[in-house]
Amino acid sequence: MSPTRAAAPAAGEFRAFVARLHFYIGLLVGPFLLVAAVTGVLYVLTPQLENVLYREVLRTASAGPAQPLAAQAEAARVVAGPGAQLAAVRPAPAPGWTTRVLFADPRLGESENRAIFVDPVTLAITGDMTVYGTSGILPFRTAIDQLHRTLLLGDLGRFYSELAASWLWILALGGICLWLWRRTGQLSRQNPANTRLRTRRLHGLLGVSVSLGLLFLSATGLTWSRWAGGRIDGLRDVLGWNTPAVTMTLEAPGLATAATGPEAGGDHAEHRGGDVPAAEGGAAKGTMGDMSGMDMANMEMPGMAMHGDGVAQGAGTPMHRDGTAKEADAPGAEAADPVRQLDAVLAASRAAGIDSPMVEVRLPRPGRAWMVREYDRSWPTQVDTIALDPASLRVTSRADFATFPLVAKLIRWGVDMHMGILFGVANQVLMAVVGLGLVGATLYGYRIWWRNRPAPGALPRTLVQAWLRLGLPVRAAVVLVAAALGWMLPVAGGSLLLFLLIDLLRWRFSQPAARVLPAE
């Protein structure tokens, strides 16, 4: 027998194995993929709806100059009560928007804060609700996000989303292979009027059309998964691909370099748990939003004076005739109530190059620095971060997106694109099309299975059976690949063992008379 003729059956057996694996993934993981796709589509399509639902909270018709940021925070603190712990302030990004004053609350979940919304002009309180994550989404979209990530089951529900992300890329690659093989094989020459063939073609066409998007969603979803995400973080540590972050400690004098340790919190801390102050990427400076053209280094803000080196004194600090701060109101005294420094901190950060209108000022903990970060994740991304010494308001550490490693930038962009916020409406539409394509391909896949399901009592075609038909070198290679993927993607490895258990049970409870290996 010629090598070419001998290779043909081997290739056919490998195709049968890929088809059986593709079938098992679709059948058993399909329900989780459907939930993830539907809830993901809802999430990316609802930012505008959320703005409408909470318009009275987010927007204001008040006109005139804004009150000092410290006064806005104090108005919110009065409403929050004496025991509330003020964590951060997000000034109104533009006229007509409200300021968010964030309070830590131990009764809330991870990455959640109590937000009190303040009219920056009148100091009126427009809302009091829980916000979630760095994006600051409101209760409506938070519910969709939690359904997408955990099925509202907490940490236990994270198995579902990681299961879907772990198998999605394998499902997509297998589907591409099957589609290519069938286009060059016998199925491409069959009667196009055949209903079953038409269903199979629609399933393949939908899947292949969105396959690149599915691979992207799988990869980015795995980066913030619990178990596979830990493996990916370890790999990034080894390769030096971590996202730089500011150093919040104050031991080292002078300007510190960016760190990549726990201060960072990751590129998507809100999806892992814990809203840790982080440098989450940013954009190279050049465009300054609605502050374009201002000379921030030399601009004096109302209520504050600038030293010759551009470092701000505290807001409203009384001065001696020689320009030094009075003893009783020196910055060290103001540190007892950091709220009084908010305006000076914001001005100092603007002078240091934090120019996005979307900025968050996080209050310092004892012995730690102020942290000011941009959170505009649209294009061009602006999420630079700096740390400021509470006493002098000098920059002690910074993490600028322009200096990030390429991989860290790609991960930042990938996560934001996955969430539908990188390119605005175009990004939302693209992610929705990919999600709906996955829904359609999955439903067509179930229709194919239902029409071709084995007759009662027939011998089931199993994954183990398809594997045993492979040649010995191919079988060994499959085992090695499965072991490697099982270590890298623990949920996929555990579910593969479940697939094999189902295989054995199907074989065990089939009719004994039919338990003969068929010749295909």
What is residue 437's predicted lDDT score, i.e. its pLDDT? 97
Please report which helix (H) or strand (E) contains residue 28, including its range.
helix 3-45
Structural tokens at position 323: 């320009």
179 and 185 Cβ atoms separated by less than 8 Å: no
Distance from C-alpha of 12 to C-alpha of 1, rounded to nearest angstrom = 17
359 with 508, same domain: the answer is no
What is residue 193's predicted lDDT score, i.e. its pLDDT? 59
184 with 285, same domain: the answer is no
Residue 208, in any domain of the structure: yes
What is residue 456's predicted lDDT score, i.e. its pLDDT? 67
CA angle 479, 484, 489 (to 5 degrees): 120
Residue 419 CB contacts under 8 Å (≥ 6 apart), including other chains: 43, 44, 135, 377
162 with 121, same domain: the answer is no
Amino acid letter at 83?
G
Residue 198's domain spans which residues? 3-44+153-222+431-514
250 with 158, same domain: the answer is no
Domain count for the chain, please give it: 3
385 with 252, same domain: the answer is yes
Residue 423, in any domain of the structure: no
Summarised one tens digit per residue, pLDDT across range 314-351 is 333 333 333 333 333 344 444 478 999 999 999 999 99
296 with 174, same domain: the answer is no
Residue 49, in any domain of the structure: no
End-of-domain residue from the set 90, 112, 137: 137
Amino acid letter at 500?
L
366 with 260, same domain: the answer is yes
What is residue 40's predicted lDDT score, i.e. its pLDDT? 97
274 and 369 Cβ atoms separated by less than 8 Å: no
Distance from C-alpha of 427 to C-alpha of 91, rounded to nearest angstrom = 26
359 with 445, same domain: the answer is no
112 with 165, same domain: the answer is no
40 with 163, same domain: the answer is yes
Distance from C-alpha of 229 to C-alpha of 250, rounded to nearest angstrom = 31
Nearest one of 266, 279, 289, 235 to 415, comparing CA atoms = 266
Distance from C-alpha of 203 to C-alpha of 176, rounded to nearest angstrom = 11
What is residue 303's predicted lDDT score, i.e. its pLDDT? 34
Q: pTM (2 decimals)?
A: 0.80
CA angle 255, 256, 262 (to 5 degrees): 150
Residue 199, in any domain of the structure: yes
418 and 13 Cβ atoms separated by less than 8 Å: no
Local structure of residue 318 (DSSP, 8 states): -
- Going by pLDDT thresholds of 50, 70 and 90, the confidence category of residue 195 is confident
Residue 426, in any domain of the structure: no
Specify the pairing of strand 125-132 against strand 359-362.
Answer: unpaired
Distance from C-alpha of 387 to C-alpha of 339, rounded to nearest angstrom = 16
Summarised one tens digit per residue, pLDDT across range 268-310 is 444 444 343 333 333 333 333 333 333 323 333 333 333 333 3
267 with 374, same domain: the answer is yes
- How far is CA 154 from each of CA 32, 106, 139, 145, rounded to the nearest angstrom? 16, 17, 16, 12
Amino acid letter at 476?
A
503 and 463 Cβ atoms separated by less than 8 Å: yes
170 with 34, same domain: the answer is yes
For residues 358 and 308, which has the higher predicted lDDT (pLDDT)?
A: 358
